[in-house]
Amino acid sequence: MLGTIKRTLRSNKAIYLFARNARMAYRRRRLGLREVDPTFYCAADVRIAPGFEAGAYSFVSRGAIIGPRVKLGRYVMFGPRVMIVGDDHVFDKAGVPTIFAGRPELRPTVIGDDAWVGAGCVIMAGVTIGTGAIVAAGAVVTKDIPPYEIHGGVPAKKIRDRFASEDERAAHEAMLAEPAREFGAFCTPMG
């Protein structure tokens, strides 16, 4: 029965968008998300710290845990179970247990426009993932990732460039310079 209702709603774009927007308005209030674009979407079970910012058409999938001072650009995609954690304990005070050593000022974590972070990635707080970068599923990101590079592994290392030529990269950058808009097929994310 519920599956039939969902299929009916998804088949009518206007009704689906109304329901989706209502769900996200509730989630924004519940999670205290004041700095996200109205087109941002996240699954119901994400945990997001206050102060989170997200650009237009960004998406955070199921099971994500996002710590404080995180900013997503436009068109960013997070796969399931992505975590942005760490960088929040002083551990190098001799003679003081880490639990009592205090916390440093938390550095911001920035994910550039059109970045894709695969399922199960762990991103250490304070890193920057450049515009158009892709992080392979299961990677652990401990250092900044330059724009338009694909990284994977533990710790994440460069696999290759995203585009084969500078012309392709320039064309993509020109598209990203335009105002945010919906592209192509109608998307119905999980959650």
Question: Would you name the residues annotated as active-site residues?
Answer: 89
Say which residue the tokens 């299929």 belong to.
7
Cis peptide before 38 (omega within 30 of 0): no
Distance (Å, whole) CA 75 – CA 89? 32
Which residues on neighbouring strands pair with residue 72, listed in sequence order? 54, 111
Distance (Å, whole) CA 172 – CA 179? 13
Residue length, the chain? 191
